[in-house]
Chains A and B, each alone.
Chain A
Amino acid sequence: MQKKIILLILFCFACSINVLAEHKVKVTVVEKGTQHPLVGALVSFSTNKELTHAIKAVTDTDGKALLILEKEDIAHYFYKISVTGYVPITDILPLAEKELKVEMSEDVMYINGAVVTGSRTERPVKLSPITTQVLGGKALVDAGYSDLQHALQQETPGMNIQKVGFGNEISMQGLDARHVLFLQDGERMTGDMAGNLDYERFNLHAIDRVEIVKGASSTLYGSRASGAVINLISKKATKPLDIQAGMRWAQRNERNYKNPQPKDFLYMFEKNSDRPNLQAWVSAGMKQGAFTSQTDVLYSESDAFYMYQSEHDKKVYTKEANPFLPHDITLTGAAERSPMGIEGTEHISVAQKFYYEPSDKLSLQVYGSMFFLNSYDLIQDMTFSQSRDFMAGMKARYDVKNWFSVNLSLHGDFYDRFKRHERIDERKKVYKSRILEPRLTLTSTYFAGHSMIFGVEHTTDDLTSDRFVNRKMTTRSLHETEYFLQDEWTPNDHWMLSTGVRTNFSKAFGFMWMPKIAVKFSPDNHWAIRANYSMGYRAPSIKELFFNWDHLGMFQIRGSEELKPEKNNYFSIGAEYSKDRFFINVNAYGNFFRKKIEGIWHIYDMQYNFEYINLSSQRMLGVEALLKWRMTDNFTLNATYSYVNVSKQNGIQVNTTSPHAATGSLDYVFSRPNYRLKTIFSASLMGEKKFDVQDRVWVEEHKKSYDAYFRCTLPAYVLCNLAVVQTFYNKVKVTLGVDNIFNHVPHTLGSGITMFNVPATCGARGYMQLEFLVDDIVKSLKRKK
């Protein structure tokens, strides 16, 4: 008994020594201004400046974290607090302090976050060897954008998204959608038309950030990344429960039909063309221990409208583009210009992700999404278009000691398009597209200063369409196996060298290899100089290879199985300067294409034929600038500018890009406890466009017709938006705004096939948006009870 008492006393003594050796620090993290608690902030305390062997904790729903530190013989602790979307704070805490309250500011310049696209591994945006433009998802929603297309066009210099007959047409740095690779969390999607996806499938409210890497990135992402990569990184819950919901109502674009009646022949068409402009969304995240779930749902509908041109079409055939002409010829259309219809849409997208991360070493993820789209064009052809897409996959990462990480992924995307009858309950499948992509990558930081990645991926691409063989649904496939290797070497604080190579093998095109090299030099913490060379390539698409479609006996669209992959050499050099409140990046580039695949009109067999061929070389030279300036705590200025010069071919400019494009926004923020006001005024400028369009002209003097080009000139325009966002108690957010506030309406739609190069707007339209932090509201109500 005595022995037991002695043991108990010794145990209590030992415990008390242990308690005496502990140092507890209560940390409270709040947002600056509103003072609302920040949940999920990572708090790291260490005895050294480098924060190695740090003690970590995550703030709870009240923004509080408790750190139990060992008492050391030091004067103070070093700490760092970081949370997504806020400027991280690094400071010291005297040993005597037991409480710490930290106010964090929103990272309005987004230069502190991590990016993955440029390296395929996560690293801070400032340390990326490749210039990466980052658009925060929350900021895009705050700015009042209804969809990703509008957000990208307004925020990205030189990006142009236009409505065309089949949906949207994107262009960037003088390149079209075939050279711009859209990724969802690093994975490809299918279902494109001329390289353009159904951009409606991207739910703006499910996006954490958009990373834009311009220039060839084929080494990491393969074919189609020859012009740019736009990677949409989706949200992942960081709080135990995070449910947000919202809805948006916007003014109708145009009332096309008053009081449609069931007896109307076009009853369904009339109803669908005048749908309300409505959106509703739910974003639900949950994090419990090793398990994380993220669900995102969006429903959206919009009305269709017409764009008008009062004057008749005019075509100018210049002597410059057509040297055989005796003089410039101007032809004015005899008929009035028909209005151009912009379709309305109705769509729903649902995405679900599950993560299981039992330790730092192991991470598992499965994901799936579905998307349904009805497109209501203004063509009275008794049908409308339906699309559906199912995307699914899994990812696994396992760290083998500190040697390397094994990453395995399997990704599939399954897309179908239908024509649906407007009077009879039937539909017909017209397009089916599938991709399946298994990938294995090994990443390692084992060797000091080196970050290496080796990967192998196989892509199976199947396309079924009625446009290959005699209007019968026929499938054509492409299979590619690719290996890539990249090393990012950081020998010291100033230099970084990134080198990589990708090999590609396919039965159709044989063996190819693409190298890249990028250098970054940072003389100090503020400056960075980057230089980059990379080779891009784009394998011909299945359509470009196999299309064989007779358009009502009028013309043929023909692919060619003889097509070769197009290649490009991309060079860029840029400088970046960043300080607490100021960031500027200027980048000059040259992009040199060989064997570029283009569609051109040829006359043979007594008719016009639209054929894909490896045309010739094309050169693009450009400069881009990005500026972010937090002038005061309240005002932030963002500006971008893009200049591109695209080479002419024999005096002919077939590229429809404007040389000049710019965007800008001025944000004003006012905060006080439990209230936040944010006003965003943004402007997007598109310079004048001047390009030549292939046509045929009759020359009276020669009594003969010629293949000729007419010059199309489309005027410069500026679109401005205003959004006023008020947040109450960090639970309810109310946004009022006006798109195209200065009511710009294009007066020229362009002639003939050029009509797809004007902004699809019918003028100023207002909107209202409500967002709720559902879980916080429910919690507050429970507390009151």
Chain B
Amino acid sequence: MRHFLFTIMAAAALLTSCVDYDAQPFTGKELPRTTGYSTGVTNDWLYINLRTGQMFNRNKVNEDIAEGEQKNRLDWDIAFCGYRLRTNSGTSGNGLGAAADLGKGQYEKWTSVSQLPSDLQWAVDDHTVSITMSRKDWNRYLIANHLNFEENPWFDPNNGPATTLTDANPILAKAMTFTGPPPVYTPSFHTYIVRTADGKRYFKLQLISWYKANIKIGDTGGQISYYCDELK
């Protein structure tokens, strides 16, 4: 009986202590800061020049490129705001950027431009993508439209926080979905191809997680983890 009890205790201890941390270190990229409505600005975009690796608005909202200024600049290729993305194309920018969906997974498979299917459906940015409004902007909207604050709270338990439409890429809008409450961000794990602003280079992109790898327990996330590599 004593042996039996000892075995039981050991098994119980094993279950609690034996959580295997055998994942390899993450080799992808992560955003340097959280972007989007939680910073107080609805259109808080972090711009990245994929060709040089340069980032704009890296440390705070609109420090390099304010909303609207991105339109006439060709020194950025992709931008993040929350879980929405822009390419330098269409309503977002005057560049030759665009994005296409290469299907689920198989990120490693795509290594060169020559592999890309000829009938790839490229999408440029438009004004159909919804984005979560910041609370501050929602209040401004209520004032502008003479709506009652007590009747129109920013957050609705059945529908989530208020949203508005913005300039963003409709294909990349499917790269991550949001449901809630409770807030759940789910990547599609599709591999996307992004064309740079000059129309000459191509980068593959896969969103991995709303969270960075070493996030603290309880942190609400937003520093998206992703893979992004150039196709030769």
Contact = CB atoms under 8 A, between A and B. Distances in A.
Interface stretch (A94-102, A546-554, A585-593, A628-636): A546-554
B21 A704 contact: no
B152 interface: yes
Interface in A635-694: 693-694
Given A383-B217, A427-B217, A552-B220, A267 B12 contact: no
Interface string B182-213: 11111100000000000000000000111101
Interface string B20-58: 111110111000000000100000000000000000000
The majority secondary structure among interface residues of chain A is strand
A66 interface: no
Interface string A365-386: 0000010101000011111001
Contacts of A47: none
A176 to B, nearest CB: 18
Interface in B201-232: 208-211, 213-215, 217-218, 220-221, 225
A617 B27 CA distance: 59
A425 B21 contact: yes
A752 B1 contact: no
Interface stretch (B82-90, B111-119, B156-164): B156-164
Interface in A546-593: 551-555
B19 to A, nearest CB: 7
Contacts of A297: 8, 11
Given A284-B4, A380-B185, A421-B217, A608 B156 contact: yes
Interface residues of A, number: 64
A486 interface: no
Contacts of A551: 181-182
Nearest to B212: A382
A553 B135 contact: yes
Given A295-B4, A295-B5, A338-B179, A696 B12 contact: no
A1 to B, nearest CB: 55
Contact of A606 (B153, B156, B159, B182): B153
Contact of A428 (B8, B208, B218): B218
A610 B156 CA distance: 11
Contacts of B110: none
A184 interface: no
B217 A419 contact: yes
A262 B154 contact: no
B174 to A, nearest CB: 10
Contacts of A383: 217
Nearest to A601: B157
A644 to B, nearest CB: 26
Contacts of A348: 11-12, 15
A419 B216 CA distance: 11
Nearest to A604: B150
Contacts of B4: 284, 295
Nearest to B215: A382
B157 A555 contact: yes
B151 interface: yes
A36 interface: no
A346 B15 contact: yes
Contacts of B211: 380-382
A388 B16 contact: yes
Interface in A445-477: 471
A524 interface: no
A695 interface: yes
B159 A752 contact: yes
B12 A372 contact: yes
Contacts of B122: none
A696 B150 CA distance: 12
Contacts of A382: 209, 211, 215, 221
A696 B11 contact: no
A535 to B, nearest CB: 34
B141 interface: no
Interface in A336-380: 338, 346-348, 350, 352, 370, 372, 374, 379-380
A420 interface: yes
A165 B181 CA distance: 10
A293 interface: yes
Interface in A604-623: 604, 606-608, 610
Contact of A380 (B153, B156, B186): B186
Contacts of A608: 153, 155-157
A355 to B, nearest CB: 14
A290 interface: no
A505 interface: no
Contacts of A262: 22-24
A5 interface: no
Contacts of B218: 419, 428, 471
B12 A423 contact: no
A288 to B, nearest CB: 11
Nearest to A262: B24
Contacts of B158: 315, 693, 695-696, 710, 751-753
B177 interface: yes
A265 interface: yes
A209 B12 CA distance: 26
Given A284-B4, A380-B187, A423-B21, A265 B161 contact: no
Interface of B: 1, 4-5, 8-9, 11-12, 15-16, 19-24, 26-28, 38, 135, 139, 149-161, 177, 179, 181-187, 208-211, 213-215, 217-218, 220-221, 225
Closest 7 CB pairs of A and B: A752-B158, A267-B23, A554-B155, A428-B217, A338-B179, A265-B208, A382-B211
11 contacts: A262-B24, A380-B187, A380-B211, A382-B209, A382-B211, A420-B19, A423-B214, A554-B154, A606-B153, A696-B158, A706-B151
